[in-house]
Structure 1
């Protein structure tokens, strides 16, 4: 049975290898300062982003999820954006991903948020097989433009 708990500073040794694998999957190479800042924000109880870890029966970390909430021009209560979801290869297709999504949905519902939404890569077939079962595809296409802030 998968157990989900809030990400804490003590979880760093479990979280870091999964974070590194997640970034490698998306072919991202973030500066160490970004990872440090992200982990600090995720483990700050008063922070603006949130995280949870999935644990297997033996007490090993098998996945994580990160999310944030934000206001919306289309909703009075606002939305919850599930930004990162990772399940270790040996935990896939065993209900871990769904348990992590359910955790975020319950969190958002407790806070009165209207919906939880997320993005994934078109070719992420493994994750999409889960997402197609637990959510509906909106048909929106994602665009982005980098700013010259750095």
Structure 2
């Protein structure tokens, strides 16, 4: 468990978090004008509770015991490194607590997990319009020159 001075705690997802996790992930998806079917909610939650923490993991941020943020991350092989690298797939903080260190605490917890796993790299993507989050990212990570392409 990671603590920051503003009483933010970060901990692994547990089965009893399902309703809070759904609330947070739904809001995250909505921020990106996206949604997923019920089947994806069910399979994602089951994967996140899986036995292998290097497979697919979720951390929950709490303030005063209330879940207010989440991150999903996973480790994968990389052709340019011997070690696995860490992909931080989703990061979300409830709008009512933004600016209180939630995102930073979650990212730093993923950094710590990557260090524990011997992973030299943590990377993530964000959309260019996500200006508020990018202010944080610019302080705690290095922006790369890569542009993402995706099959239509």
1:89-104 pair list within 5 angstroms = 89-104=95-110
1:27: which partner in 2? 33
What TM-score, normalized by structure 2, do the two folds share? 0.92
Alignment partner of 1:144 out of 100, 125, 150 = 150
Q: How many residues align?
A: 145
Partner Cα distance (1:112, 1:9) in 2? 27
Which segment is superposed worse, 21-30 or 98-107? 21-30
Which segment is superposed worse, 45-54 or 124-133? 45-54
Alignment partner of 2:126 out of 99, 120, 125 = 120
Partner Cα distance (2:41, 2:112) in 1? 27
Displacement of 1:29: 1.8
Displacement of 1:45: 2.7
CA RMSD of aligned residues (A): 1.0
What TM-score, normalized by structure 1, do the two folds share? 0.93
Displacement of 1:46: 2.5
Which segment is superposed worse, 82-91 or 25-34? 25-34
Runs (4+) of structure 1 moved beyond 3 Å? none
Partner Cα distance (2:49, 2:14) in 1? 5
1:54: which partner in 2? 61
Matched, 1:132 2:133: no
Structure 1 counterpart SS, 2:151: coil
Displacement of 1:78: 1.9
